[in-house]
A and B are shown apart, each in its own frame.
Chain A
Amino acid sequence: SQTIHQWPATLVQPVGSPLSLECTVEGTSNPNLYWYRQAAGRGLQLLFYSVGIGQISSEVPQNLSASRPQDRQFILSSKKLLLSDSGFYLCAWMEAGAYEQYFGPGTRLTVT
């Protein structure tokens, strides 16, 4: 069966520090991968998605970037965090051609 991992679970970082969040999927090949951000009490904002290695689409211009160095690995990064980067970050995967997305447990990021 497929599983999706995200780490770390929680992170407190100072303004101006770098960021690296990692997401890996097991049990599937060539999945579509997604990064979302969720502000408190709000819906999900799609940040990036990828349909293959090295293929990244950005949905919202911002202080973040994403990379997919391996088929089942998706990384969210920032060179310098802003206070507005605080939030709950969710990674999801979807089988290519399907519609249902499957989410990881999320990372709670607090920028101080």
Chain B
Amino acid sequence: SQQGEEDPQALSIQEGENATMNCSYKTSINNLQWYRQNSGRGLVHLILIRSNEREKHSGRLRVTLDTSKKSSSLLITASRAADTASYFCATDARQGGKLIFGQGTELSVKP
């Protein structure tokens, strides 16, 4: 069954603006991760937030986690055209090292 669901499905912004993507999940988790996928390429790990953390930063990325609402958000500040990609959240299935990926948010940053 689907664990992560991203919202919105697509987002188009101008360079310099902030981009916010949301992820909701259904069951309890150990951690939640965000990945980026450039068109036609493999996924790249961006950031992991543990279930006992509420916020985490990495460069221009800010991730929040609300386990009571079973939701997470990824904020990209001062976006660049190079940030154009699909972004996926992934939750651990608490077994076998498996991850469950959402459907992704397609971000387009226009120069």
Quick one: which of A43, A88, A92, A100 contacts B103, CB cutoff 8 A?
A43
Find chain A residues with CB under 8 A from B100 CB: 46
A44/B88 in contact, CB under 8 A:
yes
Number of A residues with CB within 8 Å of any CB on chain B: 28
> What are the residues of chain A within 8 A of B92 when measuring CB–CB?
99
Q: Interface digits, A22-38 against B, CB 8 Å rule (1 contact, 0 not)? A: 00000000001010100
Interface residues of B in 26-73 (CB under 8 A from A): 30-31, 33, 40-45, 48
Kindly provide the distance from the CB of B96 to the nearest chain A CB, expressed in whole angstroms: 7
B106: nearest chain-A partner, CB-CB: A41
Residues of A near any B CB (own CB < 8 A): 32, 34, 36, 41-44, 46, 49, 51, 57, 59, 88, 90, 92, 94, 96-106, 108
